[in-house]
Structure 1
Amino acid sequence: MRLTRASDFALRILILLLKTEGALSVETIAERLGLPKSHVMKIVSQLAAGGFVATQRGRAGGVRIMEDKGEISVGSVIRAIETEFAVVDCLGKSGPQCAFEPRCALKSAMVEATDAFLHVLDQYSVSDIAGRSQHPRLESLD
């Protein structure tokens, strides 16, 4: 499974917002993370649509992480940002019909693997990866 850079950027944005009091402008986020402003704008829009951040226009506006702070699961962020989880062509929305259907074991194995991958990511919160709370698996990496 391959994730896009958008997922990486989304998690970095959430970590930055978690470590910041108050709201940050899109410009400030882009500058602090060294990301193109256009990318940050698109990802912030996706994060807002997913309920992970709140945005407010105007002089006192900006982007802030929602009230539940870092309890957002990494898996839920990935699901909100990624549009395609097809590991093989036949799993894609417009993938080709498999010559081995309906007995193809590869398709079900790949679906199971993708589900397991996302399940592991669901066990980590943004707070866990930001280092603000302790998680048993992260402690073992020290």
Structure 2
Amino acid sequence: MVQKVRDHQTQPRCSHEPKVLVVYNTAYQEKRAQLYRETQALHKSKTPKNKADWESIDTKIDSAVIRFNEVMSRRREYDLHWMTAKGAVKYVRSIMEAIDDGEPVKIITGQGRNSKGKVPQIKKSLMREFRCRKGTTVEVDSDNPGVIYLTKCLY
């Protein structure tokens, strides 16, 4: 059974690209909901009393999101919701290092609604990391500021 998660059509990235209707199946939705519950429980377990354990908790959070992407993500689309900013940069670095062509990679960072001060920390960290990196272009989706596209430039 296929269900629409997003019923809006996104604007094309370029004038020659068609509009896309994003559809996710029930299995995807269930796995994503499970990931949300797991990562939120881990985030909530970080208290001032256990600061020494935060790095270990962050590793568990990041690993859960990476596992989800390995199993559920579409080709060249990675959903980084609920990751730590540090883990997201490390993960995207590894993705970009493995690419050997000039096709864009869609990175879903979210808009920062769950971040401190509502500032999208994952996006901010990725922009800082890749904006000035030689050989990589960064483009923010004009329709959805919670999505960026990274493209490896081939010289």
Q: Does TM, normalized by the shorter one, top 0.5? A: no
More strand, by proportion: 2
| TM-score relative to the length of structure 1 | 0.28
TM-score scaled by length of structure 2:
0.26
